[in-house]
A = this chain, B = another copy of it.
């Protein structure tokens, strides 16, 4: 049997403690699957005295995580601090430079510096593993990089943020408005005190950029992701979605187009019959379409101590057994640098909701604006009559170019019978 693998964990938050607990509770199983013992040799965290409910007496304690990463008695460094810069980045770079494999759950770091870190790992001939950075306990990186390795991936999309999915699911089930459901999610611990990172789509965009790189063999391009959040989704849109046979989900979507790599994070109307429509609450799901495998769906818990620890330790076992894969599936030198497809070129169907004065001629003005921009209407719903008052009008379009849709919306929003800025939600044909 090989000598024990000595691990160091930087960051003892929820996930770090989850990893410690997993290493302790499943020690026998891990030894069988790794062919060697996994030993926690060191941890780095700020407050040593805090009672964290796990036994760390036999473990060396570092105040300086980067120093720990360079310690000669450590074989593998597990980075669970988070953030694209600062200590987290220093820990990862120090470990790689010392020729030590790194396991990280850090999506911001991988999204913003993934390509450079992959080159760095490759130069030193060590593994940089990040299964835990995307979709928690779902082994999606392994599935894309190894399980679907024989496929040219044609499209990829997923529910990548549990907070948003929880809010949208609860809005649909309860009929309540966004602000109220967000406040409740914060109370329940499903949303942060400052929720913008989640609800404005940044977290999902980090994950999408990483998945895109793995799926299409390109350099991670976080800056190329078009990002919208879910603050503008209201209960009435969720009702109309149901009426039209859709559910509203925040998706990350990526594919290769003639204009480059299209990466988008925004609320979508998805057909109620598609598997991802049934992924509810805090669950995540990723769908990948391969030219031979067809459509594969992976669903599971996208966050939390247990699922994230499961992914971290799976990466550790790969390292312990000597299973190696290039960081993004192909050698760093083979990663393509493709342009980002401008959102203006996006082709899709659209849901538009307008609040208009209920007065003759309103619809004619709106449809004229659409016609002038070559936007083809698929359906229209005008519910209820209230002459002279505000009523909602919902339009859905056939396949349209985003730029044309934007121009049409700009014209429509300037009509004096249109009382609020138009709400637009893209309809996805999944």
Contacts and interface: CB of A to CB of B under 8 A. Distances in A.
Interface of A: 18, 22, 25-26, 29-30, 32-33, 35, 131, 136-139, 142-143, 146-152, 217, 275, 278-279, 290-301, 304, 306-307, 309-314, 316-318, 321-325, 329-331, 334
B291 A148 contact: no
B290 A294 contact: no
Number of copies of this chain in the oligomer? 2
Q: Which 3 A-B pairs have the closest CB atoms?
A: A139-B147, A137-B293, A150-B313
Contact of A317 (B146, B293, B296): B146
Dominant secondary structure at the A interface: mixed
Given A32-B334, A325-B323, A300 B297 contact: yes
A143 B143 contact: yes
B150 A22 contact: yes
Contact of A310 (B293, B304, B316, B331): B293
B296 A298 contact: yes
Given A29-B152, A291-B26, A321-B325, A299 B300 contact: no
A32 B217 contact: yes
Contacts of A293: 136-137, 300-301, 306-307, 310-311
30 contacts: A18-B292, A22-B150, A26-B150, A26-B152, A26-B292, A33-B330, A35-B331, A137-B290, A139-B146, A139-B147, A142-B147, A143-B143, A143-B298, A147-B314, A148-B310, A150-B310, A150-B314, A150-B316, A275-B299, A290-B310, A291-B306, A293-B306, A294-B304, A295-B301, A296-B299, A296-B300, A297-B298, A298-B298, A298-B299, A299-B299
Nearest to A318: B146
